[in-house]
Amino acid sequence: MLLQLLPVVIGDNPYDSIAEGPPRFSSRLHVPPSIRKPPWLLQRRQIQFELAAGSSVRSDFSFTDRLEESGIIFRNRITDDSGKRYLPVHYDLGCGLAAADIDGDSLPDLFLVNKSGGNKLWRNLGEGRFANWTTPELALADRISVSASFADIDNDGDPDLYVTAVRDGNVLFENDGRGGFTDIAIGSGIDYRGHPSAAVFFD
16 binds Ca ion (CB under 5 A): no
* Terminal CA-CA length for the chain: 35
> Quick count: other Cβ atoms within 10 Å of Cβ 129?
14
Least separation, in Å, of the C-beta of 119 and Ca ion? 17
Stretch that binds Ca ion, among 27-35, 42-50, 59-67, 160-168 (CB under 5 A): 160-168
Least separation, in Å, of the C-beta of 110 and Ca ion? 10
Dist. CA 94–CA 80, nearest whole Å = 14
120: enclosing H helix or E strand: strand 120-126
Least separation, in Å, of the C-beta of 99 and Ca ion? 10
Stretch that binds Ca ion, among 46-54, 61-69, 88-96, 119-127 (CB under 5 A): 119-127
Q: Which CB, 76 or 182, lies closer to Ca ion?
A: 182
Taking Cα atoms as reference points, which of 134, 89, 84 lies closest to residue 109? 134
Please, are residues 59 and 52 in contact by the beta-carbon 8 Å criterion? yes
Instruction: Select from 137, 142, 154, 168 the one that contacts Ca ion (CB under 5 A).
Output: 154
Least separation, in Å, of the C-beta of 202 and Ca ion? 16
Instruction: Select from 156, 167, 193, 201 the one that contacts Ca ion (CB under 5 A).
Output: 156
152 binds Ca ion (CB under 5 A): yes
What CA–CA distances, in Å, run from 155 to 152, 158, 191?
6, 8, 20
109 binds Ca ion (CB under 5 A): yes
| 3-state SS string for 73-85 | CCCCCCCHHHHHH
Q: Which amino acid is at 153?
A: I
Residues in region 68-107 near Ca ion by CB under 5 A: 101, 103, 105, 107
Q: Please report, as ranges, the residues that interact with Ca ion according to CB under 5 A.
A: 101, 103, 105, 107, 109, 124, 152, 154, 156, 158, 160
